[in-house]
Chains A and B, each alone.
Chain A
Amino acid sequence: MRLESPTPDAPTAPRVEDGAPAPSAPGSTPVQKVAGVVIRFAGDSGDGMQLTGDRFTAETASLGNALATLPNFPAEIRAPQGTLPGVSSFQLQFADHVVLTPGDAPDVLVAMNPAALRANIADLPRGGVIIADADEFTRRSLQKVGYTVSPLEDGSLESYQVHALPLTSMTVEALKDSGLSRKDSERAKNMFALGMLSWLYDRPTEATERFLETKFAKKPQIRDANLTAFRAGWAFGETTEGFAVRYQVAPAEHPAGTYRNITGSTALAYGLATAAHKAGLPLVLGSYPITPASDILHALSGMKRFGVTTLQAEDEIAGVGIALGASFGGSLGVTTTSGPGLALKAETIGLAVMLELPLVVVDVQRGGPSTGLPTKTEQADLLQAMYGRNGESPLPVVAASSPTDCFTAAMEAVRIAVTYRTPVILLSDGYLANGSEPWALPSVADLPAIDPAQATGPNGAGDDGRPAFRPYLRDPETLARPWAVPGTPGLEHRIGGLEKADVTGEISYEPENHERMTGLRQAKVDGVAVPPLEVDDPVAPDGTRARVLVLGWGSTYGPIAAAVRDARAEGLQVARAHLRHLNPFPPGLGDALRAYDRVVLPEMNGGQLALLLRARYLVDVQSHGRVRGRPFSAGELLDVVRDAVAALPDTDSAAAASPAAGAVAESPQEARR
């Protein structure tokens, strides 16, 4: 067993900026500046890889690097130890320049056991760095994942830079005076690894020390053990000769402002609470725990001080029922869920469509159908959000595009719900929910106010000519009906799921009325004011414009933007646009679709937005739909863009492209249709 790196080569990152390493204090190890690095921490579900990743991210964020993260964990809380299904990983890209994705492939793989190595090695390009906990490469652990010989010893990893280090035993050694059992000491090995990586990449450690002190404040022995392991890992890096170089990634150029790192779910919770605050409404969340949406429930549950009430319901249906009841009472009713829960809530959402009350339904999408892939990401609930109710039941749909955008999207969903008295579905997904990135903090005072304009008196006249309350008399501009809250004298009225008579809100089975009301509900949603589509289409020096438009929605923003950036760097002319509003679509979308020879639409489903666009605008789009439970890589989408440009008729590049190249441009999903 090798206890140290077999070669004098240090880990390197592929994007070396300025040549030779230069000596630097402290310590004798030279420091090399690199532009960016992708690290993947991988281990058993119980190894604390998510925490390790989170802490490394926080250190990286506070250093001012641009970054994006991708946690990836199994649905099982503790799958059998050391097995492939039990592997949990956390990938992080950080750089001195704009980062749009967590990185297509890691430069560095930290593998805490053989299963982690086996599950992730295929993603690591040749030449990449492997840091493995050699102690865990025992015969039994190797056998569990089908290795007959240790890959650390059989030469199979020769094309990588392997650092096989006894992380577990070094941790135990560092904690020999802690009074902890060997087993408990071993549990701190993730902090040892974090300390070592923090040294290797020159991360500040104060925040992690503070974090450990707070997290384990009530368990001093555990606190001290983790701190000791963390510091020992750092010290090991400093003293070992195994790493010939350590690395620095300079802060990225961010616009001026105060920043923090934030996950999508936290940002979404803050967005909801901030919007309620700006509307002057109490927020009432009715929710049933479901992966990957529960973190929003957790976050809001801790925000009572901000007038946020959270009720953990007996089921998904009760969750949305509670929210709707609260909205009827004049609060901002919110429910949070994932795809299976959205299915259960459908009938109540339909009631909200009929009642025309504000309601925000957050769907953090995951792989489906049925239970599907609970911890993996997908965008396949779009059609469910649009149409998953009985009858003609239109409602606005808003999608967040990045972890930080979850804040803005949540505010937008609340604005629409309150202004137009309608349920709104806000789509996030597992990638946005758990992923994180730096966020330039907004100033709450500068955010736009939301006017709930609840009814205070009669809005019309009765048959006798006297002032009367007309529950379904609409605002001529928004088509919103009055929000008359119980407790308001003189406005007593009854609403319900039966069809309403126009203006009076009485029960009506009259055919003409039903058609009129159906039309009004649709017109109200169609008329929701949303900003026009912005197309990013830089004019080339020769004055020409792109002929290919890459369109996306939701969490594909990062990889699409990265792919388009890379395509432009190759000299390809490509336009890009991204949808926040799925219903109604933004003004200018139809024109934009028609303005390009080819519209490419990557989405993590079988082509759901493509279906909607074709139906709505009678324009074809080239769907690139994949459902692998993970975000697109920028590299994959770059290939899609290249192929789309190459397949254009009447261009040089098209001339070079064979018919086969055009076929390649079609997604596997499309090809199967």
Chain B
Amino acid sequence: MSTTTTPLGLPGVRSGTEDVPRLPEGTTLSKKDFTAANEVRWCPGCGDYAVLAAVQGFMPELGLRKENIVCISGIGCSSRFPYYLDTYGMHSIHGRAPAIATGLAASRPDLSVWVVTGDGDALSIGGNHLVHAMRRNVNMTILLFNNRIYGLTKGQYSPTSEVGKVTKSTPAGSVDAPFNPVSLALGAEATFVARTLDSDRKHLTSVLRAAAEHRGTSLVEIYQNCPIFNDGAFDVLKDSGEAQARLVRLEHGEEVRFGREDDQKVVVTAPGGGVEVVPAAEAAGRDVVVHDAAAADPTRAFALSRLDGPSMAHVPVGVFRAVARPTYDDLVRDQVDSARAEAGGPASDADLDALIAGGDTWVVR
């Protein structure tokens, strides 16, 4: 059978929360309004606390009615998140949150939909749903807490654990090559991809702001510490001296440069389409990368994502990519809405009678 394509009449660029009812003029909510009464039950020192506080603190800034915010999670430590956020929420099953959120987002344009997931939940058991949500560009924000370990099942390696990692299930060291979640998202046609750290409230909040504003699937990878089973996994990015040397803070429209004041580095284009880090002092004549998160072609963003490696010598954070593409849920609704509009509005009983009668009927008297 041959296939045909139909021009879809793409809507323009719109905010991720454009169709969500806002609070009445002059009304604001506070962090307290988003804090559920439930006792938070993460381990002491867990990075999830910081992310929760940042999200609760950021939510009022959206100016949305809180009954129109929904948080859906899968299974894992981070997936307890909805219980602590005083909005509508669903703590679903392992890996399936993006699929459930897709059904919700597609049917309810008036909701701000958030997905909270972890590295095992999103990248292992739920990998299929994650990549397809990003491919479709469903209007939702996915917070992927990456602690590079299975915490809730007490310490097995995850799909982001480094090769050689010794865990309960890999006593001789893991031989499983890890995913780079940002690279994966870019390869899966994601329209918004960012990375941030649990411990950097300011940066985290700025990324949340951009993610919520984006219409489509926003994938936010959050490096998050598990103090019990993988403590210190990101310490080198948190020590102020080390962080300065290693964190590559991507800013749209700015040259990509980082490092200690006495050891400035820049990211330059490299032969073969990639990028590389060189000391700023040696960059003369090189093509210093100016970060363009809005570039239609994700190639450069992908190259930047590859700077990260097991040694975490230089770790890009910030918004890798933020491009406008029609969202799946908008297109789905447009088809339904236009079919109804063309037919003159919602279906009546008589319309349904005509549907089920079809074209060939006969009458028995």
Contacts and interface: CB of A to CB of B under 8 A. Distances in A.
A207 B359 CA distance: 9
A474 B86 CA distance: 22
A327 B72 CA distance: 14
Contacts, number: 207
A270 B355 contact: yes
B106 A284 contact: yes
Given A259-B362, A328-B90, A348 B96 contact: yes
Interface string A328-341: 11110100000000
Interface in B38-58: 38
Contacts of A331: 107
A367 interface: no
Nearest to B69: A486
Given A355-B90, A496-B82, A324 B103 contact: yes
Contact of A486 (B67, B103, B347, B360): B67
Contact of B336 (A304, A355, A493): A304
A472 to B, nearest CB: 14
B103 A348 contact: no
Interface string A271-310: 0011001000010101000000000000000011111110
A157 interface: no
A329 B140 CA distance: 14
B93 A497 contact: yes
A260 interface: yes
Contacts of B356: 260, 270, 274, 407, 441-442, 444
Given A61-B360, A489-B67, A496-B90, A309 B100 contact: no
A322 B343 CA distance: 27
A649 B104 CA distance: 61
Given A304-B339, A487-B68, A321 B96 contact: yes
A127 interface: no
A355 B82 CA distance: 15
A306 B364 contact: no
B335 interface: yes
Contacts of B124: none
Given A273-B352, A444-B352, A318 B128 contact: yes
B209 interface: no
A329 B111 contact: yes
B83 A318 contact: no
A328 B353 CA distance: 29
A260 B357 contact: yes
A179 interface: no
Nearest to B87: A492
B129 A443 contact: no
Given A322-B100, A329-B111, A441 B38 contact: no
Contacts of B91: 494-498
A377 B87 CA distance: 46
A492 B103 contact: no
Contacts of B102: 311, 318, 321-322, 325
Contacts of B340: 304-305, 307
B358 A260 contact: yes
A536 interface: no
A314 B66 CA distance: 31
Contacts of A441: 353, 356-357, 361
Interface string B77-91: 000001100111111
Interface string B94-133: 0010011111111110110000000000000000110010
B107 A309 contact: yes
B12 to A, nearest CB: 22
Nearest to A313: B99
B67 A487 contact: yes
A286 B110 CA distance: 20
Contacts of A58: 360
A498 B90 CA distance: 11
B65 interface: yes
Nearest to A277: B352
Contacts of B110: 487
A125 interface: no
A303 B351 CA distance: 11
Contacts of A238: none
A307 B333 CA distance: 10
Nearest to A488: B67
Contacts of A407: 356
Nearest to A261: B360
Contacts of B333: 309
B104 A329 contact: yes
A307 B346 contact: yes
Nearest to A493: B88
Nearest to A306: B347
Nearest to B344: A305
B92 interface: yes
B129 A487 contact: no
Nearest to A443: B353
A503 to B, nearest CB: 15
Contacts of B107: 282, 284, 309, 325-326, 329-331
A317 interface: yes
Contacts of B347: 277, 305-307
Given A305-B347, A487-B67, A286 B103 contact: yes
A347 B362 contact: no
B352 A492 contact: no
Nearest to A255: B364
Nearest to A327: B103
B312 interface: no
Nearest to B112: A486
Given A257-B363, A321-B102, A488-B67, A495 B90 contact: yes
B266 interface: no
Contacts of B90: 328, 355, 494-496
Interface string B209-224: 0000000000000000
A64 B100 CA distance: 47
A393 interface: no
Contacts of B353: 441, 443-445
B175 interface: no
Given A64-B364, A304-B339, A325 B38 contact: no
Contacts of B346: 307
A395 B340 CA distance: 34
B270 interface: no
A490 interface: yes
A182 B63 CA distance: 70
A322 B361 CA distance: 36
A323 B103 contact: yes
B100 A321 contact: yes
B349 to A, nearest CB: 4
A256 interface: yes
Interface string A233-264: 00000000000000000010011111111100
27 contacts: A58-B360, A62-B362, A254-B364, A257-B363, A261-B360, A305-B342, A306-B347, A306-B352, A307-B336, A313-B132, A314-B128, A321-B96, A321-B99, A322-B99, A322-B102, A322-B103, A325-B72, A328-B90, A329-B103, A350-B93, A351-B92, A441-B356, A441-B357, A444-B349, A489-B67, A492-B67, A497-B93
Given A321-B129, A331-B107, 9 more contacts: A274-B352, A282-B107, A304-B339, A304-B340, A322-B106, A489-B65, A492-B66, A496-B91, A496-B92
